[in-house]
Amino acid sequence: VSLRPRFLPALLMRRGALIKTVRFGEYSYVGDPINVVRIFGEKEVDELLLLDIFASRENSGPDFSTLNKLLPECFMPVCYGGGVEKIDQMRELYSMGIEKISLNTATLENPGLITNAANEYGSQAVVVTIDVKRSAFGRYSVRRGGQDVSRDVPSYCRTLVERGAGEIVVSSIDRDGTWAGFDCDLIRLVSGAVNVPVVALGGAGSDGHLLPALQAGASAVAMGSMSVFQSKGMGVLVRFPDASVQDDIVRQLRINE
């Protein structure tokens, strides 16, 4: 029997508030992160993916004061990403009680950061999130700031793992906030290229979208919009597939193994 996949809410932060984007662009306000994290704790989610997507864009570094308030509420594993550029920031985040830190843009300027962190904290604590865009011709590229970083996603991911990444979050720019389902071709491409766990992010809109992503090789499925909104374009509602829904998905996944 394979390891049970993880089901996780992906929460986006900006200056201490929770928000949610559509295709990395326009965003709406979701609410106070502490309340939302508490609710997810009661729902016993497998893990929390907490991304401060503006911390690197606005060059502000991790928002330690918000995290300091938030982490005492987290009795589940937390993967934090956003504005992390230096090993000192990572040390502080780990000591605050974060198990895993997701690096993103910093890995371009400073690829050694992955290796340094893995040497000090182990690969299981170092995650890299890649933002991937699909072209009109169906070609994938790793993007950053509106530009291609790599057009060979599998080899890019293998390099990250060689440097010490212990998990890769594959974030689909095209699917972000669309409720249209995961980009399973992309998940298959990445999970086939590496032997570390792969987290699928971007596009989850219903419970029915989860199984295909897991069948495509994801070890975990992250839900952004559908974990904080009633439905597309509707108001805020913290929700999450309950245990029976998750069990059912796991059962179906294992039947086909």
Partner 1 sequence: MIAILDYGVGNVGAVCNMFKRIGAQAFLATEPNEVLRSEKIVLAGVGNFDNALKRLDQSGLKDPLLERVAAGNYLLAICVGMQMLANGSEEGVEQGLGLIDGNVLRFTEDRGRVPHMGWNEVNAVKLHGVLAGKPQEKFYFSHSYYLKCSDEADVLMTCEYGGEFTAAVQRQNVIGVQFHPEKSNKHGFQLLRNFDQL
Q: Nearest distance from residue 164's CB to partner 1, in Å?
A: 10
Torsion sign across C-alpha atoms 247, 7, 131, 151: negative
**Interaction residues for partner 1, span 104-133 (CB under 8 A):** 118-125
Instruction: Mark 150-189 with x for binding to partner 1 (rule: CB under 8 A) and - for no binding.
Output: ----------------xx----------------------
- Give the position of tokens 């994290």: 37
The yes or no reply on residue 64 touching partner 1 (CB under 8 A) is no
Mind spelling out the 3-state secondary structure of 81-110? Answer: ECCCCCHHHHHHHHHCCCCEEEECCHHHHC
Strands 78-81, 17-21: pairing is unpaired
**Interaction residues for partner 1, span 217-236 (CB under 8 A):** 219-220
Nearest-CA neighbor of 84 among 149, 20, 128, 142? 128
User: 132 or 194, CB closer to partner 1?
Assistant: 194
**Total chain residues near partner 1 (CB under 8 A):** 40
Say if CB 18 and CB 11 are below 8 A apart.
Answer: yes
Q: Nearest distance from residue 121's CB to partner 1, in Å?
A: 5
What ranges in the chain are assigned the alpha helix state H?
A: 33-42, 53-57, 64-70, 87-95, 106-109, 112-121, 153-163, 184-193, 210-215, 225-228, 243-255
Q: Which residues carry out catalysis? A: 131
Which position among 47, 52, 63, 176 is part of the footprint of partner 1 (CB under 8 A)? 47
Residue 110 CA to residue 106 CA, distance in Å, equals: 6
Which position among 39, 87, 96, 211 is part of the footprint of partner 1 (CB under 8 A)? 96
Which position among 2, 135, 206, 231 is part of the footprint of partner 1 (CB under 8 A)? 2
Which position among 15, 31, 64, 72 is part of the footprint of partner 1 (CB under 8 A)? 72
> Which residues of this protein are in contact with partner 1, per CB under 8 A?
1-6, 41, 44, 46-47, 71-72, 74-78, 91, 94-100, 118-125, 166-167, 195-197, 219-220
